[in-house]
């Protein structure tokens, strides 16, 4: 997936309802190119808590995403090489 602008994104979503969800997504940054981004919607309050954007190197063809769910908690993971 090679998005061309910030409105294009693909990834994983943990959805509770329209007010509460999170998403780990590949999208586009005007300065950095392809990035991995975490978006949180908590009672309609949106945030992107990662302090540093995760830049996806140009040579990376695939981005592997995973979510582990443990009762009321979940954890996102990503890899550029299936590990």
Does 46 reside within a domain?
yes
Q: How do residues 1-10 score in pLDDT, each as one tens digit?
A: 899 999 999 9
Does 62 reside within a domain?
yes
b/e for 46-63, b at 16 or more Cβ within 10 A?
A: eeeeeeeebebeeeeeeb
Nearest CA-CA partner of 57 in 37, 80, 40: 80
pLDDT-wise least confident of 13-17, 57-61, 79-83: 79-83
Mean pLDDT, residues 46-74? 92
Does 14 reside within a domain?
yes
Does 40 reside within a domain?
yes
Q: Give me the number of domains the chain comprises.
A: 1
Does 81 reside within a domain?
no
Does 53 reside within a domain?
yes
Predicted confidence (pLDDT) at residue 32 exceeds the cutoff of 90: yes
> What is the pTM for the complete model shown?
0.84
Domain that holds residue 18: 10-66
Does 76 reside within a domain?
no
Predicted confidence (pLDDT) at residue 67 exceeds the cutoff of 80: yes
Q: What pLDDT is attached to residue 61?
A: 93
Predicted confidence (pLDDT) at residue 83 exceeds the cutoff of 80: no
């Amino acid at each position: 997936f090679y998005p061309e602008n910030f409105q294009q994104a693909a990834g994983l979503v943990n959805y509770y309802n329209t007010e509460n969800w999170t998403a780990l997504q590949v999208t586009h940054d005007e300065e950095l190119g392809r990035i991995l981004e975490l978006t949180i919607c908590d009672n309609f309050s949106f945030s992107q808590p990662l302090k540093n954007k995760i830049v996806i190197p140009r040579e990376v063809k695939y981005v592997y995403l995973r979510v582990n769910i443990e009762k009321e908690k979940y954890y996102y993971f990503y890899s550029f090489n299936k590990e």
